[in-house]
């Protein structure tokens, strides 16, 4: 609202600049208007005459030269006087012209300025000075900004392990996997090892290797389990590592132990059970993580094969899975979870454009469903894809 009042005031000022000099009886002093032509010329020549006189007196030019120069200037004066006399006295000001000018200003300025501004401007976007954004209510700030805050804090206090611990999961979720690994390593170095941190590190390492539980990741999960034998995620991943290494029995044993010791209402129970069933049933898919961002579902055989693959083959496989998901959603677009997965997956693969396109397609499928749209927007913002 304030913005529009400011715009109105500015427009009024512009129009005023035209109307004020047009008002009746506006003939101001020469200082503003400029001078009558004839007078202006004569003034210059009078000055020149005075100058010649001064030069003569100070001996810079001889008397005869001064005389010739004076004659020359006098001729210019005569000519100026002549043309001054010839100039038509003129209408000076006419009401008709005045009115036309006023109307042009009154209509033209707002129409032109308003039209162009509506075309080019973004009146709904408030200014967003960084300082204000940083001190804003954290609930309103977006993820990127929160990360920045923590980063700024860490730059000032590079030995604050807690800061790394806060930022690491966000890096992980937004696909900054190298940063996530580094942050977890720093958190462990500074705050010491515990199951949660080691699991986070292992998870980040696994995601960085496109779902393969590498030796480093496995070591991290093992440290976690050593510290906290019941650690759910770590145990799950160790099972997955066993599957990928082809040690099915070990995986079944580990996951069965988890299921046996679990409280009945554990939220992860269905996932592990499902994985176990598939493994026992011989063939189908244990997801790489209980609730993994990348979860595009490799089959057991796939996963087992992955360990033996070159990085190129591996990424081709992941790509293939993501493309399959995209194909499925193109045919049936009603699966919100699927869309969110797809956007995340493209983003993790570094295909920002495809991620954006997927977000756009997703929005198209959920027109009218505000809750779904909000989720898509939130994800886009989180991944920095623009909305």
57 to 116, contacts with other proteins by CB under 8 A?
A: 58-61, 65, 68-69, 72, 76, 79-80, 83, 88, 90-94, 97-98, 101, 104-105, 108-109, 112-113, 116
Q: How far is the CB of 283 from other proteins (least distance, A)?
A: 44
When binding is defined by CB under 8 A, the residue of 64, 71, 120, 192 that contacts other proteins is 120
* Residue 301 CB neighbours (<10 A): 12
Distances (CA, A) of 1 to 4, 122, 126: 5, 14, 11
Q: How far is the CB of 373 from other proteins (least distance, A)?
A: 16
Q: Is 98 exposed, middle or buried (0-12, 13-18, 19+ CB in 10 A)?
A: middle
Query: With respect to other proteins, which residue has the nearer C-beta, 95 or 312?
Result: 95
The answer to whether 347 and 383 are in contact (CB under 8 A) is yes
Q: Alpha-carbon torsion 306, 180, 176, 329, what sign?
A: positive
The answer to whether 363 and 351 are in contact (CB under 8 A) is no
Nearest to 195 by CA among 227, 219, 163, 235: 227
| Structure-token pair, residue 349 | 């693969």
Q: How far is the CB of 142 from other proteins (least distance, A)?
A: 6
Q: How far is the CB of 66 from other proteins (least distance, A)?
A: 11
Q: How far is the CB of 146 from other proteins (least distance, A)?
A: 9
When binding is defined by CB under 8 A, the residue of 43, 78, 106, 253 that contacts other proteins is 43
Distance CA 44, CA 48 (A): 6
Query: With respect to other proteins, which residue has the nearer C-beta, 77 or 190?
Result: 77
Helix H or strand E encompassing 144: helix 143-156
Query: With respect to other proteins, which residue has the nearer C-beta, 97 or 324?
Result: 97
When binding is defined by CB under 8 A, the residue of 51, 67, 136, 277 that contacts other proteins is 51
Distance CA 252, CA 212 (A): 18
Query: With respect to other proteins, which residue has the nearer C-beta, 20 or 312?
Result: 20
Q: How far is the CB of 287 from other proteins (least distance, A)?
A: 31
Q: Which of residues 201-260 bind other proteins (CB under 8 A)?
A: none
Distance CA 103, CA 212 (A): 74
Total interface residues for other proteins by CB under 8 A: 88
x/- binding map, residues 363-382, to other proteins, per CB under 8 A? ------------------x-
The answer to whether 251 and 277 are in contact (CB under 8 A) is no
Query: With respect to other proteins, which residue has the nearer C-beta, 94 or 331?
Result: 94
Q: Which of residues 306-365 bind other proteins (CB under 8 A)?
A: none
Which CB contacts under 8 angstroms, 24+ apart, belong to 98-101? 98/22, 101/18, 101/22
Q: Which of residues 125-164 bind other proteins (CB under 8 A)?
A: 125-133, 142, 144-145, 147-148
The answer to whether 338 and 365 are in contact (CB under 8 A) is no
Q: How far is the CB of 210 from other proteins (least distance, A)?
A: 27
Q: Which of residues 172-191 bind other proteins (CB under 8 A)?
A: none
Q: How far is the CB of 116 from other proteins (least distance, A)?
A: 5
Q: Alpha-carbon torsion 317, 321, 326, 331, what sign?
A: positive
Which window, 56-64, 160-168, 263-271, 344-352, contacts other proteins (CB under 8 A)?
Answer: 56-64
Q: Which of residues 5-34 bind other proteins (CB under 8 A)?
A: 6-7, 10-11, 13-14, 17-18, 20-22, 26-28, 30-34
| Structure-token pair, residue 125 | 């976007």
Close Cβ partners of 50 (under 8 Å, ≥ 6 residues apart): none
Q: How far is the CB of 39 from other proteins (least distance, A)?
A: 5
Query: With respect to other proteins, which residue has the nearer C-beta, 334 or 387?
Result: 387
* Residue 27 CB neighbours (<10 A): 11
């Amino acid at each position: 609202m304030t913005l529009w009042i400011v715009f109105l005031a500015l427009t009024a000022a512009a129009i005023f600049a035209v109307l004020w000099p047009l008002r009746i009886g506006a003939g101001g002093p020469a200082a503003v208007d400029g001078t009558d032509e004839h007078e202006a010329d004569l003034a210059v020549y009078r000055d020149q005459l005075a100058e010649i006189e001064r030069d003569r007196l100070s001996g810079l030019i001889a008397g005869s030269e001064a005389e010739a120069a004076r004659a020359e200037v006098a001729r210019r004066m005569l000519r100026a006087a002549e043309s001054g006399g010839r100039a038509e006295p003129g209408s000076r000001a006419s009401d008709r012209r005045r009115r036309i000018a006023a109307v042009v200003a009154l209509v033209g300025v707002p129409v032109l300025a308003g039209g162009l501004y509506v075309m080019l401007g973004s009146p709904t976007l408030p200014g967003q000075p960084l300082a204000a954004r940083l001190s804003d209510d954290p609930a309103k700030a977006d993820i990127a900004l929160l990360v920045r805050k923590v980063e700024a804090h860490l730059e000032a206090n590079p030995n604050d392990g807690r800061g790394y611990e806060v930022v690491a999961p966000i890096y992980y979720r937004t696909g900054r996997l190298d940063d996530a690994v580094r942050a977890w390593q720093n958190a462990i170095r500074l705050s010491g090892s515990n199951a949660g941190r080691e699991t986070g590190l292992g998870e980040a390492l696994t995601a960085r290797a496109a779902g393969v539980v590498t030796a480093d990741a496995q070591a991290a999960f093992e440290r976690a389990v050593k510290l906290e034998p019941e650690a759910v995620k770590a145990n799950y991943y160790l099972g997955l590592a066993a599957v990928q290494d082809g040690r099915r029995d070990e995986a079944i044993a580990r996951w069965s132990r988890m299921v046996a010791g679990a409280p009945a209402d554990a939220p992860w129970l269905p996932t592990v059970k499902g994985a176990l069933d598939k493994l026992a049933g011989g063939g189908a898919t244990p997801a790489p993580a209980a609730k993994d961002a990348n979860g595009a579902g490799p089959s057991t055989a796939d996963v087992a094969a992955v360990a033996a693959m070159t990085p190129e083959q591996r990424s081709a496989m992941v790509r293939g899975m993501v493309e399959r998901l995209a194909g499925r959603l193109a045919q049936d677009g009603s699966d919100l979870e699927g869309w969110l997965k797809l956007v995340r997956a493209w983003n993790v693969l570094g295909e920002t454009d495809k991620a954006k396109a997927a977000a756009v397609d997703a929005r198209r499928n959920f027109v009218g469903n505000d809750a779904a749209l909000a989720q898509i927007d939130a994800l886009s913002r989180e991944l920095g894809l623009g909305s």
